[in-house]
Amino acid sequence: MSKKLLSSAAMLALVLGLSACGDSGDSGEGSEANASSSSSQSAGPEPDLSDVPDVVATVNGEEISKDDFETRYQPAFQSSAQQAQMQGQELPEEQRKQMQAQVATQMIDTELALQEAKDRDLEASDDEIEAQLKEAAEQQQLSSVDELMSTAEEQGVSEEFLRGNAEDSVLLEKLAEDLGYEEPTEKELKEAYKQQKQQMESQMEAQQSQGSGGSSSAPEVPSFEDQRDSIEKELTQQKQNEVLVAEVKKLKKDADIENELEVEEPDSSGSPSESSSGDGSSSEGSGEE
C-alpha cells in the first residue's frame, strides 16, 4: 500500500505542481525552488494519457475520473520528465507506468480515508477550508489565497477543484484526530532539529566551497526555538499520516476496489509480486496481507 496519503497542504501543493511526488515538509530554500518551478511546469512536457481510461478507478462505487487523475498526475510527470530532459534522456515507459500506478493508488487510498471520515460524520467548515488554503499559500510563499487561486488558474486548476482539495485535507486531519495519534515529544523535536541543522550546515559548506570565496560570513543556522513550530507541524503531519495509512490498510480488506492502472512489480526473484496498490488486492479490493 502507498506509504503516503495526500494530506494537509501537501495535497494542494501537488495539485498546483509546486511539489513533486516525494517527501514534503521542506522549507526555506526548498520552498523557493518549488515556487520558482511552478511557472515553468505549466509550460513543461505534457503527459500522454491516451491509454488512460475515463474512469481510472472505482472505490466502493465512487469513481475516480481521468480528469481528476490528470490534475494530480501532470505535475509529478512534468517534474520527472524535466529531470530526464536535463540529462538528455526521455522518461522511460516503465517509469511512466509506475508513476501512473502510484498516483492512482494514492488517490484510491485518499478516497478510502475520505469515505471513512464521512462515515464518522466528520465535516469541514468554510473557515477551516479557508485556513487550509491560507496555509498552502504561506507554504508556497504566496502572499494570499487570491494569489494561490491565480497560480492555480494559470495551471488550469479551477478554484472549485482547489477548494474541494482543501476540504479533503481538513477531513483527513480530522480523521487522524478521531483515530488518535501521539503528539511529537520534545526529544523527537530536538532530534529532528539536529538532523535539519546538520543538513543545512552541509549545504552551506558545499555552497561556500563552490563560491567565489568570500568576503561575507556564512549565514547562521536558525536556532531550535526559531524552527520549533515548523518542525512540530512537520512531525505532527507525519504522525497523522501514519495513523491514516494504518487505517486505510484495514479499510482495504473489505473495500470494493477496481484499479484500471494497477501494475505488477517483480519481487527479488524476478517473478510477479504485489501490485502497485501494495495490498495484493483483486478488483474486489480484498486479499491477503
Q: What is the mean pLDDT of the chain?
A: 79
Q: For residue 158, what pLDDT is reported?
A: 87
Cβ pair 260, 55 in contact under 8 A:
yes
Each domain of the chain, given as residue ranges in start order, spans: 8-185+223-275
Percentage of the chain beyond pLDDT 90 is 49
Q: For residue 39, what pLDDT is reported?
A: 41
The DSSP line for 110-179 is: HHHHHHHHHHTT----HHHHHHHHHHHHHHTT-S-HHHHHHHHHHTT--HHHHHHHHHHHHHHHHHHHHH
Q: For residue 267, what pLDDT is reported?
A: 53
Residue range 185-197: average pLDDT? 95
Can you tell me the distance from the alpha carbon of 138 to that of 130, in angstroms, rounded to the nearest whole number? 12
Q: What are the residues facing 264 on neighbouring strands? A: 275
Cβ pair 196, 234 in contact under 8 A:
no
pTM listed for this prediction: 0.73
Can you tell me the distance from the alpha carbon of 145 to that of 136, in angstroms, rounded to the nearest whole number? 8
The answer to whether residue 220 scores a pLDDT higher than 90 is no
Can you tell me the distance from the alpha carbon of 179 to that of 120, in angstroms, rounded to the nearest whole number? 10
- Assign 139 a pLDDT band (cuts: 50, 70, 90): confident
Interhelix angle 66-86/93-119, nearest 10 degrees: 140
Q: What is the pLDDT of residues 2-33, one digit of tens each?
A: 445 544 445 544 444 433 333 333 434 433 33
- Assign 216 a pLDDT band (cuts: 50, 70, 90): low
Residue range 222-239: average pLDDT? 92
The answer to whether residue 121 scores a pLDDT higher than 60 is yes
Q: For residue 239, what pLDDT is reported?
A: 94
Can you tell me the distance from the alpha carbon of 232 to that of 185, in angstroms, rounded to the nearest whole number? 9
Cβ pair 261, 101 in contact under 8 A:
yes
CA dihedral 249, 251, 253, 257 (to 10 degrees): -100
Can you tell me the distance from the alpha carbon of 16 to that of 36, in angstroms, rounded to the nearest whole number? 12
Q: How far is CA 122 from CA 38, 116, 118, in A?
A: 33, 9, 6
The answer to whether residue 197 scores a pLDDT higher than 70 is yes
- Assign 272 a pLDDT band (cuts: 50, 70, 90): very low
Q: Just give the CATH number of 8-185+223-275.
A: 1.10.4030.10
The answer to whether residue 269 scores a pLDDT higher than 90 is no
Residue range 168-186: average pLDDT? 94
Q: What is the pLDDT of residues 90-114, one digit of tens each?
A: 888 889 999 999 999 999 999 999 9
Q: For residue 232, what pLDDT is reported?
A: 94
Q: For residue 119, what pLDDT is reported?
A: 97
Angle at 172 between CA 58 and CA 147, to 5 degrees: 100
The answer to whether residue 225 scores a pLDDT higher than 90 is yes
The answer to whether residue 193 scores a pLDDT higher than 90 is yes
Can you tell me the distance from the alpha carbon of 185 to that of 249, in angstroms, rounded to the nearest whole number? 26
- The contacts of residue 281 (CB under 8 Å, 6+ apart) are 252, 255, 257, 275, 287
Higher-confidence position of 29 and 131: 131
Can you tell me the distance from the alpha carbon of 140 to that of 60, in angstroms, rounded to the nearest whole number? 34
Residue range 135-146: average pLDDT? 90
Q: For residue 44, what pLDDT is reported?
A: 65
Residue range 136-159: average pLDDT? 88
Cell numbers at 162, concatenated: 482547489
- Assign 265 a pLDDT band (cuts: 50, 70, 90): low
- The contacts of residue 92 (CB under 8 Å, 6+ apart) are none
Q: What is the pLDDT of residues 31-77, one digit of tens each?
A: 333 433 344 444 567 888 999 999 999 999 999 999 999 988 988 89
